[in-house]
Amino acid sequence: MREVIWLYLRRDRVSLLVWIVLSALLPVGVAAGSAGAYPDQATRDAFAAGVASNPAELATRGPVFAATVGGLTAWTVAASGAVIVGGLVSVLFIVRWTRSEEQAGRRELLGSTMLGRQVPLASALVVAVGANLAIGVLVAVLLIAYGLPVVGSVALGLVYVVAGVLFATVGAVAAQVVESAGGARAIALVVLGAAFAVSAVGEVGRTWLVWATPFGWARRVQAFAGERWWVLLLFVVPAAVLAVGAFALSARRDVGAGLVPARSGPAVAGPRLRSPLALAWRLHHGALWGWAAGLTALGLLLGSAMRSLGTQLDTPAFRALGAALGGGDPAEVFFRFVLYVLAQVVAAAAIAAVLRMRQQETAGLADVVLAGPVARVRWALGHLAVTAAGVVLAVAGLGLGAGVAYGTPLSVVGSTLAYLPACLLFAAVAVALYGWAPRLAAPVAWTLLGAALVLDLLGEFRVVGRAVLALSPFVRTLTPLTAGSGLTVALVGMAAVAAALAAVGLTGLRRRDMA
Amino acid sequence: MTAPVVARGLVKTFGHVRALDGLDLEVHAGEVHGFLGPNGAGKTTAIRILLGLLRATSGRIELFGGDPWADATALHRRLAYVPGDVTLWPSLTGGEVIDLLGRLRGGADPARRAELLERFELDPRKRCRTYSKGNRQKVALVAALASDADLLVLDEPTSGLDPLMEAEFGRAVAQERDRGRTVLLSSHILSEVETLCDRVSIIRAGRTVESATLPELRRSRRTVVTAELASPPLGLERLDGVHDLEVHGTTVTCRVDPGGLDAVLHALTASGVRSLTSRPPSLEELFLAHYREEVTV
């Protein structure tokens, strides 16, 4: 088992280290930002009151439990840092070490040696738990070193540990259920997304649903606000159950097989499967409909939550907040903010879709098509057309769901679609990189999206000015959207840059060697 | 009629590594051309340049008289390719992949597809992720053989096939040649090349060391002579062109250069020949001879 643990650590030492260090730095960075932006109790109280009256903030981050530097830090990172980032990365690593290895046939090589059949899964969980522990310890140590209360720092560190471990076990079970790594990741992502949606509805409506998901638990450990240690058990119990379940499933099934057996498929291809575009559609339409359906459901949930809240929202406090943000119907202000956050999720999906081209290339699947009378640009355009269609469907579904449930479909769909150019811009950056520097495409594209998100956070704590903030395509969409003018110019500009970047990328693709 | 494939002094470097170092290759229309070399000799790199997937660093390469990099799309209408390491889309079935590749090339003959599936005993309804290496190779082979391409480029196509399927593959390639198609077959399985190929090019470390028909190759190489004599031989070791001489009493085995055969036979008959066998060198011996030479250089 030691050897297998060593193997995982050796393979992913760089990415593990980056994850641990960045995760550990985020809370202390937020603490420093909060202290800088809200130096005295009066400003912090005002901020907390603003949050309490803003359903968008409630939906994405929950209530502020204590208007202190520690309290604001926990409010910012408990759910988004520990559950979303920690959970997501834990899932990706677990699936990579278990199901991906099995799918690639490397698990068999290990299995033929004197290894017990549970060793690969157990080793993966050991490394994931270890990495999350390291993050938790570093988070606590750095916060204590920064000068925050010891008890709260430890509580927040523990939230990081248990949230990461819980989703590691979700990933472990998903990896047993289906035969493909992509399917396992999709299952875990759906669990994460559904938990987020349910918690958002719970927080906005202040119902029992806040106790139904890890997002609500992470907030209600109440680090720096009268810690409630027993809430940590809410993570530990399902994690233990899921881990036992994963081992039980893994003990029962054949190596390489899932619980859901692969069925036979058609012996001949359908009449439409005759072009690179049709192939890309055939390969990715499942994921595409999944995203669209998930975001539509999320839109419906948020829209109906807003509808039931409509009258409660019409308070002087919220109207003042709305006026400061460009005014309009309270619901419109709310949607503007929620969509702003969700557009970043769609941008991530768009980058992932573009990078599938690179995966096809390195797997040798591009060769098979390009050895036929298919130009490289035509092959790439097939992928990109499906990517663009997916982004449009996801964004439109989100807006339509929210708008229909709330009762004003047109205006909500309109302000949702405004984020299309920003999402496509990130996809286009990935295309440009793919054409000229394919190995850098994934790390640089993800880093740029990460930078946009960090910029957002820094802007919120007023660490950076408006001029820097305007570098983010999302801010460039939101600002004219709230101001009510200059939107067309901003969107056309971004769309033009996106088109130019995509064209540059395709030119590079024509000139370089295929991997 | 121009040769389907012509390469002259082809060089391809990856950073400091020289994968191809002046490769020459000429495949004539209607022949089965064996492309021989050990692992890492540059066979796959050369094929990928021929397909326009890589760009040659220097040298000339022509596919049907055109430039495979600039005119890849148009030229690919006339060829079908089976990669050495076949990967297929895990969620598609074998039948779907065969149809897709056929349609991308402008359509394939359904009767021929059915016949090939039968011959290679391939179940087209299975998802590609469940196929073994040999079965993935069969999918690519059926797709290539069912097409009406003029040139088949096969990169170690039998490395995953069992002996029965290998024999079936041999018959299929022979049929394709009889139908007038050209085949470029890269391999390191010498018996396969020996039975299937009209001409071979042997490459080593990115360079062509020999390119000829099998009879030509054999003619230029040493013949293996074994003789049973009436009395121990005299003076054989002094003759020019005699190699690896072994004498056990009255039994003699040696390899003889083409120019030395006459003198050797005279020397043997002088000792009274009881039995005599002489056979041309096998491809394996030719192949090994090339590598031994390269090593001693």
pLDDT tens, residue by residue, A466-478: 788 888 898 888 8
Q: Does B95 touch chain A (CB under 8 A)?
A: yes
Q: What is the pLDDT of residue B297?
A: 41
- Plot region of B249 (φ>0 → left; ψ -120 to 50 → alpha; else → beta): left
Q: What is the pLDDT of residue A345?
A: 83
C-alpha span between A396 and A336 (Å, rounded): 14
C-alpha span between A307 and A55 (Å, rounded): 12
Below-50 pLDDT ranges, chain B:
296-297
Are A183 and A167 in contact by the 8 Å Cβ rule? The answer is no
Question: Residues of B with CB below 8 A from A367's CB?
Answer: 48, 51, 53, 81, 83
Q: What residues form DSSP beta bridges with B66?
A: B63
Query: Does the distance separating the beta carbons of A371 and B51 come in below 8 Å?
Result: yes
DSSP letters of A356-387? HHHHHHHTTHHHHHHTSS--HHHHHHHHHHHH
What's the average model confidence in pLDDT over A90-104? 89
Length of chain A: 515
C-alpha span between B138 and A320 (Å, rounded): 70
Nearest CA in chain A to B143: A368
What's the average model confidence in pLDDT over A112-139? 91
CA-to-CA dists, residue A256 to A56, A262, B128, angstroms: 44, 11, 14
What's phi and psi for B173, nearest 5 deg? -65, -40
**What is the token pair recorded at A453?**
């998100």
Expressed in angstroms, the distance from the first to the final Cα of chain B is 39
Q: Does B55 touch chain A (CB under 8 A)?
A: yes
pLDDT at A338 over 80: no
Q: What is the pLDDT of residue A254?
A: 78
pLDDT at A496 over 90: yes
What's the average model confidence in pLDDT over A227-256? 91
Tell me how far the alpha carbon of residue B253 is from its chain's centroid: 30
C-alpha span between A91 and A98 (Å, rounded): 11
CB atoms within 10 A of CB A171: 33
Q: What is the pLDDT of residue A322?
A: 64
Please tell me which residue, A319 or A250, carries the higher pLDDT value.
Answer: A250
**What is the token pair recorded at B183?**
């085949």
Expressed in angstroms, the distance from the first to the final Cα of chain A is 34
* Stretch 427-466 of chain A: residues touching chain B, C-beta under 8 Å: none
What is residue A315's three-state secondary structure? coil
Query: Does the distance separating the beta carbons of B140 and A364 come in below 8 Å?
Result: no
- Nearest residue, CB atoms, A279 vs list B83, B100, B129: B100
Q: What is the pLDDT of residue B1?
A: 61
C-alpha span between A288 and A276 (Å, rounded): 17
Mutation target to probe the A interface, by most A beta carbons within 10 A, among B55, B91, B131 is B91
Name the nearest CA neighbour of A447 among A459, A435, A433, A458.
Answer: A433
**What is the token pair recorded at A116?**
């017990």
* Stretch 148-187 of chain A: residues touching chain B, C-beta under 8 Å: 179-180
The proportion of chain A whose per-residue pLDDT surpasses 90, expressed as a percent, equals 44
Please tell me which residue, A427 or A328, carries the higher pLDDT value.
Answer: A427
On average, the pLDDT of chain A sits at: 87
pLDDT at A323 over 70: no
Tens digits of per-residue pLDDT, B92-122? 899 999 999 988 888 788 899 999 999 999 9
Please give the helix or strand (H or E) that residue B244 lies within, else none: strand B242-248
Tens digits of per-residue pLDDT, B174-216? 999 999 999 999 988 777 888 899 999 989 889 998 888 888 8
C-alpha span between B283 and A68 (Å, rounded): 83
What's the average model confidence in pLDDT over A168-197? 88
Please give the helix or strand (H or E) that residue B184 lies within, else none: strand B182-187
pLDDT at A489 over 50: yes
Please give the helix or strand (H or E) that residue B82 lies within, else none: strand B79-82
Q: What is the pLDDT of residue B281?
A: 75
pLDDT at A455 over 90: no
CA distance B2 to chain A (A): 21
Q: What is the pLDDT of residue A411?
A: 81
What's the average model confidence in pLDDT over A110-117? 76
Burial A395-421, CB ≥16 within 10 A → b, else e: bbbbbbbbbbbbebbebbbebbbbbbb
**What is the token pair recorded at A19?**
């994850």
Are A223 and A70 in contact by the 8 Å Cβ rule? The answer is yes
CB atoms within 10 A of CB B251: 15
